[in-house]
């Protein structure tokens, strides 16, 4: 399980080292990245990030300069839940086999939906995401 | 925690599905994300059973559709592990979007496709419609004609797909029911032999390497997309065949079973030949032998590798033959069949072009009988004698009603 | 960045954010990270701006509202102190000005071409409390 870091106040929160970068292509003032920043800054764990096929994906994962500072994956429309679930499944399988360098705690798996990518082309196939511990953030 | 090994007989009586499931067990798949569909269900069911019985240490991701199944596989493969799944027909069609993602992201997933017809009208039996649907998806496609080959080709598929020079996903095709549900004797490998052949999975650009964060599945527009697609095509065209041949050679050394990119039967002195895929190859071989007793020098060519298309091997196989029948088991819906077209392409610039005619057969699991093949070979011999194609270029075999022929 | 040919990049359109290895990324500030050319951090969206924010530290109380609300990670805050604006990544949206609670505001929007020193010298005075 991933851990939410304990933050007493905003000043303390502001010492976080951001893991989402500027010069992404979201519109000026778009709240997507405010949310992404706050979610990612809430933990010190390793992260596996995913996004549905929506604004966030097409604005922050553009070749050759994406904006995430953590392992990041985007798969087909509707698969914002299953692609990270697959990644988490590998993490669990390799831990079970003892083949993965045992890092504690386990990575936090976060999937972002919203902006046109919540239900149908977002996290349509959600049961795999709940079987493996994917955290969903709906913008 | 450790898993148990399984003692196998030298020859087991397995159907194609169980043979594939056993191959997945022996390769020690880390993750299967799957959604069941007839006739491929027993493959992933078999994996799940082996998992629950502690013959594998892995994870089974239960999803809500084939689209999600392939996406789970994409996520798992990108994270860095050995990944496989199985599907058929409509499920395969639903997967198609993500098939392109998997190959474009260069993830070595192995997909067992148990070939089945595509609706409408709905049909659960075997034809090659789904196999044809995937042919531009950038995957390697291997074709098994029998349960033994469904078993063996899974090892080949992992060996080739996971090679760091290749890193392309691979499909292993077998015919729905005719292969998947027909039990035959299958020569086995021991667990150690099998795992030794495919080797331990070696991660590449894996997401679980948190010290080197990677981004997978980016967006590229007109300024980059073409280069990436060109790279993938280049690697399919130039790198895959040598690795497949090397894997075939290594597998022959291990098992004594020899595979070829193009499987030729009695082709050395053949005048007429049939080229087809799946279980029909075995039927055609039997008929070809019988035709020789009747004085017709018949041969058979079976495609072991469909993608990448063995352009030069095909031209080589047909260099001395006089008449060829290309048998397509998928409705071309307004065109000559895929095999007809691609073989024509392979032969067009050769010095000696054989007479080529196309046949559409076996849709929705309709049997291709020996009688069909006898009259087909006879027709080919008539073409040879006349020095031209005496029929129309595209004919339907085994369909009720007035004879259907076009072109 | 240079437009590369088809044979000059990693297969699978895979990109790495950093050059070499990075330990404990959550504990490493941006200035201490070795970003590769494949991170948007090394790019600039400065040309998107019509108006730009100017920071007047005389009135700033380091509340960090601007830091937490900035969508573009452009408020540079270190050791709980607001120290400036990252003008390569600021898109000029003005959220920082909206959320600034001081009176007068410590951040104000000005046309992109305006001169920082002139604007600071003529910074608005404190507003009278209104009810």
Asked, for residue C57, whether it belongs to a domain, the answer is yes
DSSP B208: T
The answer to whether residues B114 and B180 touch, using CB atoms and an 8 Å cutoff, is: yes
Q: Which residues of A touch C77 (CB under 8 A)?
A: 14
Render B363-381 in DSSP notation, one character per residue.
GGG----HHHHHHHHHHHH
Among chain A residues, CA nearest to C23:
A46
Short-list B80, B95, B56, CA closest to B208: B80
Asked, for residue C102, whether it belongs to a domain, the answer is yes
Q: How many domains does chain B have?
A: 2
Which of B255, B280, B296 corresponds to the end of one domain? B255
- Are C33 and C82 in the same domain? no
- Are B274 and B186 in the same domain? no
Strands C81-85 and C75-78 come out as: antiparallel
> Per this entry, what is the length of chain B?
407
Q: How far apart are CA B225 and CA B219, in angstroms?
A: 8
Top-confidence residue, C127 or B265: B265
- Are B19 and B82 in the same domain? yes
Residue written as token pair 């259907």: B404
| CA B48 to chain CA mean position, Å | 23
- Are C110 and C97 in the same domain? yes
Asked, for residue B244, whether it belongs to a domain, the answer is yes
Q: Say yes or no: ipTM exceeds 0.85.
A: yes
- Are B203 and B183 in the same domain? yes
Dump pLDDT digits (tens) for A71-93. Answer: 999 887 888 889 999 999 999 99
pLDDT at A79: 83
CA distances from B317 to B71, B172, B272 (A): 39, 23, 12
Asked, for residue C3, whether it belongs to a domain, the answer is no
A67 touches chain C (CB under 8 A): yes
Tokens at B384, concatenated: 């040879």
pLDDT higher than 80, residue A19: yes
Short-list B304, B244, B273, B254, CA closest to B381: B273
Q: How many domains does chain C have?
A: 2
Asked, for residue B1, whether it belongs to a domain, the answer is no
Q: Which residues of C touch B220 (CB under 8 A)?
A: 13
Domain containing residue C92 = 44-131
* Burial class of B391 by CB neighbour count within 10 A (0 to 12, 13 to 18, 19+): middle
Asked, for residue C66, whether it belongs to a domain, the answer is yes
The answer to whether residues C1 and B223 touch, using CB atoms and an 8 Å cutoff, is: no
Asked, for residue B19, whether it belongs to a domain, the answer is yes
List the subunits that have 3+ CB pairs under 8 angstroms with C: A, B
Q: CATH code at B49?
A: 3.40.50.970
Which of B219, B240, B255 corresponds to the end of one domain? B255
Asked, for residue C1, whether it belongs to a domain, the answer is no
B166: Cβ contacts below 8 Å, ≥ 6 apart: B108, B140, B160, B235, B239, B240, B243
Distance from CA of C104 to the nearest CA of A (A): 21
Q: Which residues of B touch C23 (CB under 8 A)?
A: 211
Asked, for residue B2, whether it belongs to a domain, the answer is no
Domain containing residue B338 = 262-406
Phi and psi torsions of C16, nearest 5°:
-110, 135
C79: Cβ contacts below 8 Å, ≥ 6 apart: A15
Q: How confident is the model at residue A133 (pLDDT cuts 50, 70, 90)?
A: confident
Q: Which residues of C touch B205 (CB under 8 A)?
A: 10, 12, 14
Q: Which residues of B touch A70 (CB under 8 A)?
A: 210, 213
Distance from CA of C120 to the nearest CA of A (A): 24
Walk across the sheet containing B262-265 and list its strands: B262-265, B298-303, B272-276, B323-328, B355-360, B394-396, B405-406
Helix (H, G, I), strand (E, B) or coil at A139: coil
Q: Among B57, B207, B218, select the one facing A63 at the smallest CB separation.
A: B218
Distance from CA of B63 to the nearest CA of A (A): 5
E strands present in C65-104: 75-78, 81-85
pLDDT at B144: 98
Rounded to two decimals, the pTM is 0.94
Dump pLDDT digits (tens) for B44-68. Answer: 999 999 999 999 999 999 998 999 9
- Are C20 and C70 in the same domain? no
Does the beta-carbon distance from A20 to C92 stay under 8 Å? Answer: no
Asked, for residue B3, whether it belongs to a domain, the answer is no
- Are C33 and C49 in the same domain? no
Does the beta-carbon distance from C23 to B211 stay under 8 Å? Answer: yes
- Are B32 and B88 in the same domain? yes
Distance from CA of A123 to the nearest CA of C (A): 23
Dump pLDDT digits (tens) for B131-160. Answer: 999 999 999 999 999 999 999 999 999 999
Does the beta-carbon distance from C69 to A34 stay under 8 Å? Answer: yes
The answer to whether residues B245 and B263 touch, using CB atoms and an 8 Å cutoff, is: no
Asked, for residue C2, whether it belongs to a domain, the answer is no
Q: CATH code at C84?
A: 3.30.70.20
How many helical (H) and strand (E) elements, i.e. helices and strands, does chain A have? 5, 4
- Are B217 and B303 in the same domain? no
DSSP B328: E
- Are C63 and C127 in the same domain? yes
Q: CATH code at B317?
A: 3.40.50.920
Q: How far apart are CA B192 and CA B189, in angstroms?
A: 8
Whole-number CA gyration radius for chain C: 19
- Are C83 and C27 in the same domain? no
C29 touches chain A (CB under 8 A): yes
- Are C49 and C25 in the same domain? no
- Are C54 and C73 in the same domain? yes
Domain ranges of chain A: 45-138
B240-255 helix and B147-161 helix, angle to the nearest 10 degrees: 130
pLDDT at A138: 58
DSSP B289: H
Residue written as token pair 């690697």: B235
Q: Average pLDDT by consecutive 10-residue portion of chain B (407 residues)?
A: 88 98 97 95 96 95 93 95 97 96 97 96 96 96 98 98 97 97 97 96 93 93 94 97 98 97 97 97 97 97 97 94 97 96 95 93 96 97 97 96 95
* Burial class of B190 by CB neighbour count within 10 A (0 to 12, 13 to 18, 19+): middle
The answer to whether residues C89 and A23 touch, using CB atoms and an 8 Å cutoff, is: yes
Dump pLDDT digits (tens) for C33-66. Answer: 999 999 999 999 999 999 999 999 999 999 999 9
Q: Which residues of B touch A124 (CB under 8 A)?
A: 64, 68
- Are B35 and B60 in the same domain? yes
- Are B249 and B277 in the same domain? no
Which of B255, B276, B298 corresponds to the end of one domain? B255
Distance from CA of C115 to the nearest CA of A (A): 22
């Amino acid at each position: 399980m991933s851990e939410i870091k304990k933050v007493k106040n905003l000043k303390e929160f502001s010492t976080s080292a951001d893991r989402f970068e500027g010069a992404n292509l979201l519109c000026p003032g778009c709240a997507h990245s405010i949310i992404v920043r706050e979610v990612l800054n809430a933990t010190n764990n390793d992260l596996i990030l995913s996004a549905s096929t929506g604004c966030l994906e097409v604005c922050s994962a553009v070749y050759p300069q994406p904006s995430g500072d953590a392992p990041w994956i985007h798969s087909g429309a509707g698969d914002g839940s299953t692609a990270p679930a697959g990644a988490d499944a590998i993490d669990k399988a390799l831990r079970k086999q003892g083949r993965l360098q045992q890092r504690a705690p386990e990575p936090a798996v976060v999937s972002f939906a919203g902006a046109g990518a919540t239900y149908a082309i977002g996290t349509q196939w959600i049961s795999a995401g709940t079987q493996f511990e994917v955290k969903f953030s709906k913008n | 925690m450790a898993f148990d090994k399984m003692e196998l007989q030298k020859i087991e009586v397995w159907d194609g599905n169980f043979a594939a499931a056993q191959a997945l067990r022996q390769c020690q798949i880390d993750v299967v994300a799957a959604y069941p569909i007839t006739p491929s269900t027993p493959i992933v069911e078999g994996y799940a059973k082996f998992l629950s019985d502690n013959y594998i240490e892995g994870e089974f991701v239960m999803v809500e559709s084939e689209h999600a199944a392939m996406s789970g596989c994409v996520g798992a493969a990108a994270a860095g592990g050995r990944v496989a799944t199985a599907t058929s027909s409509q499920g395969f069609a639903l997967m198609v979007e993500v098939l392109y993602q998997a190959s474009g992201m260069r993830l070595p997933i192995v997909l067992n496709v148990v070939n089945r017809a595509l609706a409408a009208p709905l049909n659960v039996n075997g034809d090659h419609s789904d196999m044809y649907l995937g042919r531009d998806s950038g995957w390697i496609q291997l074709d098994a004609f029998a349960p033994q080959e469904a078993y063996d080709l899974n090892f080949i598929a992992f060996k080739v797909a996971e090679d760091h020079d290749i890193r392309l996903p691979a499909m292993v095709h077998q015919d729905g029911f005719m292969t998947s549900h027909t039990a035959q004797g299958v020569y086995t490998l021991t667990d150690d032999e099998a795992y030794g052949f495919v080797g331990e999975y070696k991660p590449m650009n894996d997401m679980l390497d948190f010290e080197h964060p990677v981004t997978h599945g980016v967006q590229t527009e007109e300024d980059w997309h073409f280069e990436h697609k060109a790279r993938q095509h280049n690697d399919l065209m130039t790198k895959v065949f040598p690795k497949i041949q090397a894997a075939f050679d290594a597998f022959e050394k291990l098992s004594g079973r020899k595979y070829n990119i193009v499987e030729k039967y009695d082709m050395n002195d053949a005048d007429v030949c049939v080229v087809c895929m799946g279980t029909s190859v075995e039927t055609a071989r039997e008929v070809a032998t019988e035709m020789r007793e009747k004085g017709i020098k018949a041969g058979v060519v079976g495609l072991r590798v469909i993608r990448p298309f063995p352009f030069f091997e095909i031209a080589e196989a047909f260099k001395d033959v006089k008449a060829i029948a290309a048998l397509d088991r998928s409705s071309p819906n307004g065109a000559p069949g895929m095999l007809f077209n691609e073989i024509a392409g392979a032969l067009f610039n050769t010095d000696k072009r054989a007479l080529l005619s196309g046949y559409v057969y076996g849709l929705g699991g309709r049997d291709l009988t020996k009688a069909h093949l006898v009259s087909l070979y006879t027709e080919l011999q008539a073409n040879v004698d006349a020095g031209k194609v005496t029929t129309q270029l595209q004919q339907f075999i085994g369909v009720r009603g007035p004879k259907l022929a076009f072109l | 960045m240079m437009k590369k040919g088809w044979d000059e990049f990693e297969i699978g359109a895979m990109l790495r954010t950093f050059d070499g290895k990075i330990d404990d990324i959550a504990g490493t500030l941006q200035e201490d990270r070795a970003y590769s050319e494949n991170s948007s951090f090394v790019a600039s969206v400065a040309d998107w701006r019509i108006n730009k924010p100017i920071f007047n530290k005389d009135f700033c109380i380091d509340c960090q509202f601007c830091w937490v609300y900035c969508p573009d990670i452009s408020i540079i805050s270190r050791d709980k102190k607001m120290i400036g604006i990252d003008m390569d990544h600021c898109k000029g949206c003005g959220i920082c000005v909206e959320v600034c609670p001081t009176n007068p505001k410590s951040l104000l929007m000005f046309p992109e071409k305006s001169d920082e020193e002139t604007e600071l010298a003529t910074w608005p005075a404190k507003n009278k409390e209104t009810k």
